[in-house]
Each structure stands twice: as C-alpha cells, then as structure tokens.
Amino acid sequence: MTVGHTSHAVAEYMRRTPKSKSFSEKAKEIMPGGVTANIKSFDPYPIIMEKGKGAYLYDIDGNEYIDYLLSYGALMLGHGHPKIVQAIQNQIEEDGTFLFGTPHRLEIEMGEKIRQLYPSMEMIRYTNSGTEATLLAIRMAHAYTGKRKIAKFEGHYHGGYDQVLLSVNPPVSAAGPADEPRSVAESKGMDPYYEDHTVVLPFNNLEATADILTRKKDDIAAIIMEPIQGGFIPAEQSFMDGLRKITQELDILLIFDEVKTGFRLGLGGAQSVYNIKPDLTTLGKVIGGGFPVGIVGGKKDILQASAPTSSSDVFDSSQSKKSGAKDVLFHSGTYNGHPTILAAGLATIKILEDDIDHVFSMTDQLKMGIQKLFANRGIAMQTVGLGSIFNVVITEKDQIRHYRDLQQADFALRKELDFHLLNDGIYTKPMNRYSMATVHGEKEVSRTLESYEKALLKLV
Ligand SMILES: Cc1ncc(COP(=O)(O)O)c(C=O)c1O
C-alpha cells in the first residue's frame, strides 16, 4: 500500500494551528526542543492546548478535540471532573493545609482502599511518580534477595533511569536475536554498567524466558514487567502462569508495573484479570486523579525492609557513627503521600467503582466501529488492547504478541491517519495508544467514527 497525501495532511495541520507553531518556536528558546518531556514532542510541532473540559481539549488556535490521549492515560475521568475539583477543595479547606510533612489520615485511607482492590499489596509506600515507584520496587527487590541484576522485557517501559531505560524501542537491527534480545540503551549519557546488569527478555515467549532466567538465576533479583506491554499488547495467560511459576522456583521476585494498567484494566488492575499475585506492584497515573503520584506495594516481608529503626535516620547527624542506617532500605520524599493528591485519587476510585463498566463498553464500541471501517475499505488492521486502552495497529499479521511483531506494522499509514484525525478534531499524539474515560459517551464515539470514515476515504 502506498502512502499519499502526507504533505497534504501535515500542511492542513499547519494551516489549522499557526499559534501552536509560533508558541513552539518560542518554547524552543526556553526548553530544549520546546518541551519538558520528550514524549510530548512530534513533527512538525506539537499542538499547544489551553483548556480542557470533560472529553474535550481546546488548543490556542481555538480548535476543539475529543481527547483520547488523556495525558498518557492518567485522566480516566476526563478533564476537570467537578467531583475531583470538590474533593481537592474539601481536603484543603478541612485540613487547612496542602501538606503536613507528617503521617496523615488519607495515607491510611488510600492504603486500605489499595489493599482491598489489590490484595497482593499487603503494605504500601507512596512516591511522586511511576518512575519513582519502579525505582523503589527494584531497590526493595535487591534488598530482599541480595542479588545485583534485574530483568525486564523488550519493549516495556518503566521510567527514564539507567537501570530500566533499556530496549524499550530498540532498532531491531541492534536488538539481537528475538529469543535472547540484547540490552540496548535508549539515551545518551547512560552508564553502560546497566547494559550488563539489566537482562532483557522476550515477551510472550515462555520457553526462551525460562531458559535465560534459569541460566542467570543467581544474579537476577527480580523481573519487572508491564503485564500488558505498552498498555496494549496483552501477556498470554499461559505465559503469565508459567512466568509466575518459574520465578517462584528460581527465587526471582516478580514485579508487576501497573502504572498504565492499574484501574484501567479493571479496578484491581491486570493482576485481577490474570489472577496472578506478583511479589511487588507499582501504580501511578489514574490513582493520582491527574496529579503526580506513585505507589509501591507488595508482600509485607519485602516492604518491611524500609521500616525505619531508632538509629537509621540518614539526616540525623548524631547517628552518623551508628550502623543502623545500613540495615534499613532508604526511602524518602518531601511530597510522598501528598494529601491533596490522595484526596483526588480516592475520589477518582469512588467514581470508577460506579462508572468503569461504562468506560469498557464505550471502548468496545469504538474498537468494533474502527475495525468495521477498516474492514469495509479492505485494510488489514487490529485494535489491540484490553479494558480501557487499545491501539490501532495496521498490519497483515494475525496477532501482535510482542515488540518484534509490532515493528512490522505500517507506521507510515498510521501516522498519516493520525494527522487526518487531528485535522478533524480527534486528539491523540500521532502513533500513541487510545485511553478511554468515563466522559466518553455515544456522542464522542460516533463523532470519532465519522472522522475515521472521512480519514480512511482520504487515505486509500
Ligand atoms: C508502565 C509504566 N511504568 C512507569 C512509568 C513512569 O511513570 P511516570 O511518567 O509517572 O514517571 C510509566 C509512564 O508512562 C509507565 O507507563
């Protein structure tokens, strides 16, 4: 299939968004690339939004969009939900402050809610982001097992630091054999030490994974994984069952990074869908109600390593000569367990308890509608995903099971489609997955399908 009209779609994009263009140019003088998270950048320049309401975003040129990016999945209630606004206002008014700097009631309230929904998370600690959560979970795994390496799967993302920013999106030519991938650094400035100390595994390939783990079991403290790769490529049930079994046999901890899937696959995350009990879990995104948060939880005896003792305070100079600090796993953070954010998170869960099924049914409706439109035009594609997240993968392949399968998709056609959709008011960052929210209703879904129909007519 040939891709025509790319320049036409992008030219139309530029015609509709002149203020975004000049804003981006100004932003480039202040921030490298004009962005403060590289993921927010795309060619020719990103759209600058200035208002959000419910399912909609409005850019500085006055264009309206139905939002399916939803801040990379964080906003499962859409933009500015009035009950979240109310919860935040109440917390600040009732407590009289934004931050106590001490333990407080909402830490326990949220903790109890998390334990109820995620029974594997017997104890928890709060962090300020998903990145910090995976960082802490990995330190806990090293402390508990005494082993120095970790393993992760090719194509899985766990944050931007050296230990895990490996083989997330490697060029296949540099990525080694499919059944024993090489560890490929994804950034300049990374310490090559981690290319040796983070073992990369092939997702959904139990035999090859088991073989690598068996050979390296004495070094590997934990496997960290996205149960659903990139939020949309599901692990097969037999793979999950096998992985849980072999990690137990080899004394390797299993960390489910549910920063994307937590609350989005079900209130109890991927672990409730697969019926698997990981040793540690990390959460983020949805649980912050749109504010920065992370949670690490898991088995009590693993978490307990971070319980302070009377002689373990790193910041108390009177204790510097004592050995206690070294016996405790250090974890700290000025904003950990931020009351305002926990109030927003608790209110989010409450709404999802009533409305999550609506999100799933709208997601299914949109997926089926898109599939039908592609089928009508004779283009092979799949909507890949579970729960409230999916991706549109244009491919002749029967099934997308892992990173290497995904690399064979028609990215050029997908990008072209995305620009046509943007020009018609359907927002996701080009090439990104779709995340749905409680505020997506029949109206938004049918409007989106109309846009797809128009875009497909222009494409082929
Ligand atoms: C699975 C997963 N883990 C960790 C992270 C990092 O979270 P944050 O961006 O909050 O640091 C992300 C972010 O996209 C993620 O999807």
**pLDDT tens digits for range 52-95:** 999 999 999 999 999 999 999 999 999 999 999 999 999 999 99
The rounded average pLDDT for each run of 10 residues, N- to C-terminus, in the chain (460 residues) is 62 98 98 96 97 98 98 98 98 97 97 98 98 98 98 98 98 97 98 97 98 98 98 98 98 98 98 98 98 98 93 79 76 97 98 98 98 97 98 96 96 96 97 97 98 94
Mutate to test the pocket of ligand 1, among 260, 264, 341 (most ligand atoms within 8 A of CB): 260
Identify whether 418 is a catalytic site residue.
no
Ligand 1 neighbourhood includes 365 CB (under 6 angstroms): no
Q: Which part of the chain is CATH 3.40.640.10?
A: 100-337
pLDDT tens sequence across 391-439 = 999 999 999 999 999 999 999 999 999 999 999 999 999 999 999 999 9
Question: Domain 6-76+356-459 classified CATH 3.90.1150.10?
Answer: yes
Spacing, Cα 434 to ligand 1 middle (Å): 16
Whole-number pLDDT of residue 85: 98
CATH class of 100-337: alpha beta
Q: For residues 95 and 318, give the distance between their C-alpha atoms in angstroms, rounded to a whole number.
A: 34
Whole-number pLDDT of residue 2: 42
Whole-number pLDDT of residue 3: 46
Q: Which part of the chain is CATH 3.90.1150.10?
A: 6-76+356-459
Identify whether 257 is a catalytic site residue.
yes
Residue nearest to atom 9 of ligand 1 (CA): 130
Whole-number pLDDT of residue 1: 41
Spacing, Cα 131 to ligand 1 middle (Å): 6
- Catalytic residue, from 152, 260, 285, 367: name it: 285
Tokens 């994009």 label which residue?
A: 13
Whole-number pLDDT of residue 317: 79
Whole-number pLDDT of residue 372: 98
Identify whether 274 is a catalytic site residue.
no
